[in-house]
C-alpha cells in the first residue's frame, strides 16, 4: 500500500489564500482590519522563532500586527497590565501570549486574564467550555489544524475509530473533544490514551484515524497500527544534526515503516506544523468579524 501523503504545507497554503481574499474583502467592504497582538516574555530561542513566524504570517495576509517583547524579569503584574490594555484596544481582535512563561509568572492567571473574545489560542476556560458543549467561537489552533488536514484530504471522521495518543490541554484533550462532536463533519468515536494507559498498542491497532502528540521519537511503530490507518503525527523531535549542521527532525511515528501500512499519513516536518499558525490567523479573522457583528 502506498500511503497518501497529507501535506500540511499545501493545505495551509490553500487556507491562507482563502484568508487573504477574505481579509481584503473585510477591509474593502467594512473598513475592518483584523488585529493580532503577540506577547513574548523572555528570550527563549524557540519562542522567538514562533512569534517571528506569527508576525510574518500576519504581514503576509494583511493582518494588523503588534509584537510586545518583554524582558524575562517582567513582573506578573506588569504582564497583566499589558493584557488589560490590549483587552481594551479596539484595533486588537486577538491576543496571544507565547508559552512558556518565566517560572515566577502564574500561567493560568495570565491566560485567564485575556478577554475570551480575544483568546485566539482558545485556552481560556470560557472557550474550553464552549468547545466541550459543541458551541465554540474558536477552535484551538493545533486541533483545528488536525481537523482541517483530515477533511481537506477527504478523510471521513463520522463513525471512525479515532485514537488520540497524548492528553495535553493544548492538543490531546481538545482534539478528542472536537472530533467526537455529534455534528456534521465530526462524529468520531474517540479513545484518549495518556501516560498511564497500560498498553497503547491495544488501542492504536484498532484505530481508523490515529493522532499522536507525545514528543517521543518514533514511538508508534508499524506493528502498532492496522492496514489502512490514517495517521496524523503532531510530534516534532530533534534527534541530531546532519553533517552540514541542519537539525534532523522526526515525528512520534516511525514514518518510513508506518507509511507502508497507512492509507494516509502526515510527514514531519511539513505536516501539522504549518497548519497551527494558519489556524491562528483564521481565529484572528473570526475574532474581528465577531467584534464587528459580522459572524
Which of the residues are catalytic?
A: 54, 98, 121
In the numeric block, which cell numbers belong to residue 117?
A: 473574545
Is the four-CA dihedral 258, 259, 262, 268 of positive or negative sign? positive
Rg (CA), the chain: 19
Alpha helices in the chain (DSSP H): 8-30, 45-61, 76-88, 107-113, 125-132, 141-151, 172-179, 200-204, 255-258, 273-291
Asked if 165 contacts 207 with a C-beta cutoff of 8 angstroms, the reply is no
Residue 106 burial (CB count, 10 A): 14
Q: Distance between CA 94 and CA 115 in Å, rounded?
A: 9
Amino acid at each position: 500500500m502506498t500511503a497518501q501523503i497529507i501535506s500540511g504545507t499545501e493545505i495551509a497554503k490553500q487556507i491562507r489564500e482563502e484568508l487573504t481574499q477574505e481579509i481584503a474583502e473585510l477591509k474593502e467592504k467594512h473598513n475592518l482590519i483584523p488585529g493580532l497582538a503577540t506577547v513574548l516574555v523572555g528570550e527563549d530561542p524557540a519562542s522567538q522563532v514562533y512569534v517571528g513566524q506569527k508576525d510574518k504570517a500576519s504581514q503576509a495576509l494583511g493582518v494588523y500586527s503588534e509584537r510586545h517583547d518583554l524582558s524575562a524579569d517582567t513582573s506578573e503584574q506588569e504582564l497583566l497590565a499589558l493584557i488589560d490594555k490590549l483587552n481594551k484596544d479596539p484595533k486588537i481582535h486577538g491576543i496571544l501570549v507565547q508559552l512558556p512563561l518565566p517560572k515566577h509568572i502564574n500561567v493560568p492567571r495570565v491566560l485567564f486574564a485575556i478577554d475570551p473574545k480575544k483568546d485566539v489560542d482558545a485556552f481560556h476556560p470560557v472557550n474550553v467550555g464552549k468547545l466541550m458543549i459543541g458551541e465554540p467561537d474558536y477552535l484551538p489552533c493545533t486541533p483545528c489544524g488536525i481537523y482541517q488536514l483530515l477533511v481537506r484530504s477527504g478523510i471521513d471522521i463520522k463513525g471512525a475509530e479515532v485514537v488520540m495518543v497524548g492528553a495535553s490541554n493544548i492538543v490531546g484533550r481538545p482534539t478528542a473533544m472536537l472530533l467526537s462532536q455529534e455534528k456534521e463533519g465530526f462524529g468520531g468515536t474517540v479513545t484518549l490514551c495518556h501516560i498511564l494507559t497500560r498498553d497503547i498498542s491495544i488501542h492504536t491497532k484498532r484505530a481508523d484515524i490515529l493522532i499522536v502528540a507525545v514528543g517521543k521519537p518514533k514511538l508508534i511503530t508499524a506493528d502498532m497500527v492496522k492496514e489502512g490507518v490514517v495517521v496524523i503525527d503532531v510530534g516534532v523531535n530533534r534527534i541530531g544534526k546532519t553533517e552540514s549542521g541542519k537539525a534532523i527532525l522526526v515525528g512520534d511515528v516511525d514514518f518510513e515503516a508506518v507509511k507502508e501500512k497507512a492509507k494516509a499519513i502526515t510527514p514531519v516536518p511539513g505536516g501539522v506544523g504549518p497548519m497551527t499558525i494558519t489556524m491562528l490567523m483564521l481565529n484572528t479573522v473570526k475574532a474581528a468579524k465577531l467584534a464587528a457583528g459580522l459572524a
